[in-house]
Amino acid sequence: MKVYVCVGSSCHLKGSYDIINLMKENIAKNGLEDTVELSGAFCLGKCTEGVSIKVEDEVICGVSKENFNEIFDKYILKK
Amino acid sequence: MNNLCTEIGYHSLFKHGEQLCGDNVEVVEQGENSFVMVLADGLGSGVKANILATLTSKIISTMMAANMSIEDCVSTIASTLPVCEVRKVAYSTFTIIRVVDNEEAEIIQYDNPFVIFMRDGKSVDYPRTAVEIGGKTIYKSKISLQENDIFLAMSDGAIYAGVGKYMNFGWQRENIVDFMEALYHQSYTAKALTTLLLDECDRLYGGEPGDDTTVGAIKIRKREPVNMLFGPPQNPEDVNKMMALFFSKEGKHIVSGGTTSTLASQYLGKPMTSVLEYIDPEIPPIGKIEGVDLVTEGVITVSKVLTYAKSYLTNNEYYGHWSVKNDGASQIARMLFEQSTDINFYVGRAMNPAHQNPDLPISFNIKMNIVDELQKCLKQMGKKIKVSYF
């Protein structure tokens, strides 16, 4: 499964750095290193709604530290 | 016209306790590839010396740039400089280095330590012809230039460094030659050479220079063009035109901006990969596209580059950071400040609606200001800049 975290200007300012670290932590915690391929993406075109991530072909916006667990659960763990 | 260009760097240490420097350096361009650098050291120190040095260097550089003879320059100075009440003389020593078409250097010296000329990292002696002008002995030399030639002009503060502190007689010109040969590296810029020598003088003076100390360095180097693409064009139909012009340019290519790099990747037909690692939490990670030397995020990265550029021109406090780190801003800084001689900017004026948010420090106006300010800084570094807007 490919997961991208946007590191464009807007998302960066809204906290891409923290989201990437949370992603890494949670992927390791759930032993998903072999199934999830994490990488950065430059601008997913949803600048107003950042932080944006992309799981396979689906773009998910408005990811924050607060809702991270919920989103990780819904889009990555359950798939 | 050859493929060489000239890089100039100069800086002064003030005599301890003085607020003005009694040395002055002036650089005047003569067309695209020729210029005159004058380093003058006024008699004494403080305000009097400062006036003498400023007048001398301004007068000589202006007159030489207008192709007037050295005889005329010297007699003009002799009759213009105010006479010192205490010493009853009007006096300022000077060194003139004039580079013509990046092919030949003419050196004219009056009473400053002789210019050090280095070729491939070794100091080379050069012939000097003595000429009497108005009772002053002036030495003239001409040298044909090659890539990596270096000229170091200095005021006598440089060779007095250390007198009575670490050495009885200061370090002599030979010691400076040894020092410069030992640390020589081809990658050092004129500015870096100046800083290295002055730092050593300052150390020998124990941080309290006993005289104004000035170094002016000239380095002959090969032209290195760097091209930088920043922002998508205002009119989406111009994308191909902008990309075609940008990628057809010789030299290195930097692409800055999320949308911009996506467009570049589409134009080249090569996928873009983003490196996930945040080397510096403040600077977004870089990306990679085959055929592009460096891909970075846009406005945050470039505004950091501007911060580095401003400090480079003053106290250079961030040098230890950007000269070694591999985040996007540091890499751009190295390419623009150190490697390049000619920089072509391709600036797109598209407005990203998402950025026009008062909470975000990345609005369109801010972006255009960054480009303007960065250009000014790079010009001050002696780079030849061209900017095209789309």
Sketch out chain A's domains with CATH numbers: 2-77 (3.40.30.10)
Asked if B343 contacts B226 with a C-beta cutoff of 8 angstroms, the reply is yes
Q: Token pair for residue B50?
A: 């400062």
Local confidence band at B105 (pLDDT 50, 70, 90 cut-offs): very high
In the predicted structure, residue B380 carries a pLDDT above the cut 80: yes
- pLDDT (0 to 100) of residue B88: 65
Rounded-to-integer distance, Cα B255 and Cα B293, Å: 8
Q: Judge contact between B229 and B263, C-beta under 8 A.
A: no
Mean pLDDT across the stretch B143-166? 88
Chain B residues 246-275 with a CB less than 8 Å from chain A: 257-259, 261-262, 272-275
How large is the average pLDDT for residues B85-108? 85
Contact A52, A63 (CB under 8 A): yes
Q: Among residues B286, B292, B296, B223, which one has the least CA distance to residue B252?
A: B292
pLDDT band at B342 (very low <50, low <70, confident <90, very high): very high
- The domain spans of chain B are 4-222, 225-389
The pLDDT value given to residue B169: 65
B104: tokens are: 């030949």
User: Closest Cα of chain A to B299: distance in Å?
Assistant: 7
What is the second-level CATH architecture of the domain B4-222? Answer: 4-Layer Sandwich (3.60)
The Cα B175–Cα B184 span in angstroms is 14
pLDDT at position B106 over 80: yes
What are the structure tokens assigned to B376, written together? Answer: 């000014």
Cross-chain Cβ contact A10/B361 below 8 Å: no
**Interface test with chain A among B274, B304, B356, by most A beta carbons within 10 Å:** B274
* β-strand pairing of A53-55 with A58-60: antiparallel
Per-residue model confidence (pLDDT) at position B87? 65
The tokens for B221 are 């180097």
Cross-chain Cβ contact B278/A17 below 8 Å: yes
Which residues touch B346 (CB under 8 Å, ≥6 apart)?
Answer: B227, B228, B229, B230, B242, B245, B246, B388, B390
Q: Decide if B287 and A40 are in contact by the 8 Å CB cutoff.
A: yes
Confidence at residue B226, expressed as pLDDT on a 0 to 100 scale: 96
Least Cα separation, residue A4 to chain B (angstroms): 9
Q: Which member of B274, B297, B357 has the closest CB to residue A39?
A: B274
Helices (H), chain B: 46-65, 70-80, 157-160, 173-183, 190-204, 239-247, 258-268, 299-313, 319-322, 328-333, 364-380
What per-residue confidence (pLDDT) applies to B165?
A: 65
pLDDT greater at residue A47 or residue B27 = B27
Integer Cα distance of A36 and A17 in angstroms: 18
Q: Which of B15-29, B46-60, B168-182 has the lowest mean pLDDT?
A: B168-182
Digit-coded pLDDT (tens) for B189-201: 898 899 899 999 9
CB contact under 8 A, B285 and A40: yes
Q: What is the pLDDT of residues B193-235, one digit of tens each?
A: 998 999 999 998 888 888 899 999 999 998 899 999 999 999 9
Query: What mean pLDDT is reported for chain B?
Result: 89
pLDDT band, residue B85 (cuts 50/70/90): low
- Between B120 and B70, whose confidence is greater? B120
Determine the pLDDT at residue B160: 86
Q: Which residues of A touch B (CB under 8 A)?
A: 4-10, 12-13, 16-17, 20, 38-43, 45, 47-48
Q: What percent of chain B has pLDDT over 70?
A: 96
Is 90 exceeded by the pLDDT of residue B78? Answer: no
With a pLDDT cut of 90, the percent of chain B lying above it is 55
pLDDT in tens, chain A (79 residues): 889 898 888 888 888 889 999 999 999 998 888 888 888 888 887 888 778 998 988 889 889 988 999 999 888 887 6
Instruction: Specify the pLDDT at position B24.
Output: 94
The kind and range of the H/E element at A54 are strand A53-55
ipTM for the predicted complex:
0.79
C-alpha closest to that of A40 among A26, A22, A55, A20? A20
